[in-house]
A and B are shown apart, each in its own frame.
Chain A
């Protein structure tokens, strides 16, 4: 009998164990990145453990060109987020709140960029820029990023606006709120979580994009392109430092947002 119990426990928790295994698979590279940010590599490549050192953490910008590419990527991600969120929110509101012709084609036009491999989009955008004789660089990257982030923002905002009760806005108008007041004090606050989710997604997608950027950047180097180049030339440890820091910042931001959400929920409860 006693030998049966562990087996039964294993059977009951098989899903949990398999799920935790997958979670481990997902997090393993992050752990490796963190550990190897404390490495002191010999030679150009940081792929084998040599000895413990905090050099890279003390001089995160000690590599030529890396922090410049990082700040360029942050700027592009910021502008792309602003652009895609503004355009995407407008589209989402129009699609959910109004009935008009051409909804079908517009829905497919928004869906297609998400269903298209990035190589295809990057390459076709490059043919456009080449045909127009555009100078590749900051602006072409920004145009591309707004383009591929847009659809994701629309879907995120649409989901939220769909679940909104339109009677709340009618109530505001019945209470003599003007259109602007209704929008700013009722509609926008309710739609905000969806807009925030869309913006966050756009930021992450833009900041991390390599494939489309690689086609449209010309000689401009964003952070993912710097990492790509360093894979050939030899990876500085500082790349692991940035990777670790980004992971920590992301976790802290989400934890902070959840704490704020909890407090607000408790207050309204």
Chain B
């Protein structure tokens, strides 16, 4: 996944002149591609088509569904669930910003300052991946428990009064509030920010820092004018890798939040698996997909790294 920062693939290495590539049939690439691409077509692209057709069906579970081109389903879904949509964007956006703020120093530390500890720090970033993320998310229930040390410390530092004012927390609680959900989202997607940032920072030539210093740039100026611009590919792919999955997530808001923190993922999940209202669920997930595609396209345009994908 870190390879999203990779430059676009150069064309296949050309065979040496005058020597036609041996034993490489014209059809070889197609045979190599066939099974995998077929898999993606049948189990990724085709389902999207099915979902599109489901979203314009009407009917009920008992009588069966019929395609009626009932586009109003989209409008109805949007009207009924816009708070959850808004919340998803807000929570995922806050988590992405927090991931960037928290993840950048860690990526910088691994790339430039860790020295011989680099591999160990790297392991400690990746190893939690192999512990079930659900178990780790449940651990946040213990960490943020009412009256626990973390909440007590935040309270006495008057952090909670600020977050209360922002509507992120509620009185002396953190669990079951938006803050807990954002905290869980930030935690769960932090490695997806740190790894691409690290790959792009690691590629920066250390001599550029020396040159900046020789030209009397302060460390802050060096960072602002040299390091940060050069790490932009990492920033862009890191924010995408954090924002996209976070906006569709429903695990954090289910485990750490309350009914007032439901995100669009919670709605899609319960419409599909509990209420069994397939057209509404399909319309909602299409709206989510469209919203994300539009936002991502605009973002990539703006950040000027279109060659990224």
Residues of A within 8 A of B (CB): 15-16, 18-23, 25-30, 32-33, 36, 47-48, 87-88, 90-91, 93-100, 106, 108-121, 123-128, 130-131, 143-144, 146-147, 150-152, 154-156, 158-159, 162, 166, 170, 173, 179, 201, 204, 207-208, 210-211, 214-215, 223-224, 227-228, 231, 235, 239-240, 242-244, 246-247, 249-251, 254-255, 258
Contacts and interface: CB of A to CB of B under 8 A. Distances in A.
A229 B136 CA distance: 15
Given A162-B6, A211-B265, 7 more contacts: A33-B139, A117-B245, A124-B47, A125-B47, A156-B3, A239-B138, A254-B123
17 contacts: A22-B103, A22-B190, A87-B36, A90-B33, A94-B32, A96-B12, A97-B29, A98-B12, A115-B309, A119-B264, A127-B278, A144-B43, A147-B39, A227-B132, A228-B134, A242-B132, A254-B127
Contacts of B240: 115
Interface string B215-248: 0000000000000000000000000100011011
A145 to B, nearest CB: 10
Given A16-B113, A91-B36, A210-B251, A250 B51 contact: no
| Size class of the B contact interface (CB-based, 8 Å) | 35 or more
Contacts of B288: 117, 119-120
Contacts of B194: 22
B17 interface: no
Chain B interface mostly helix, strand, loop or mixed? helix
B145 interface: yes
A125 B43 contact: yes
A29 B245 contact: no
Contacts of B113: 15-16, 19
A26 to B, nearest CB: 6
Question: Chain A: interface secondary structure?
Answer: helix
B33 A91 contact: yes
B131 interface: yes
Interface string B37-81: 101110111111011001000000000000000000000000000
A147 B16 CA distance: 37
A146 B39 contact: yes
Contacts, number: 282
Contact of B190 (A26, A120, A215): A26
Contacts of B249: 117-119, 211
Contacts of B12: 96-99
B106 A22 contact: yes
B119 A258 contact: yes
A243 B130 CA distance: 9
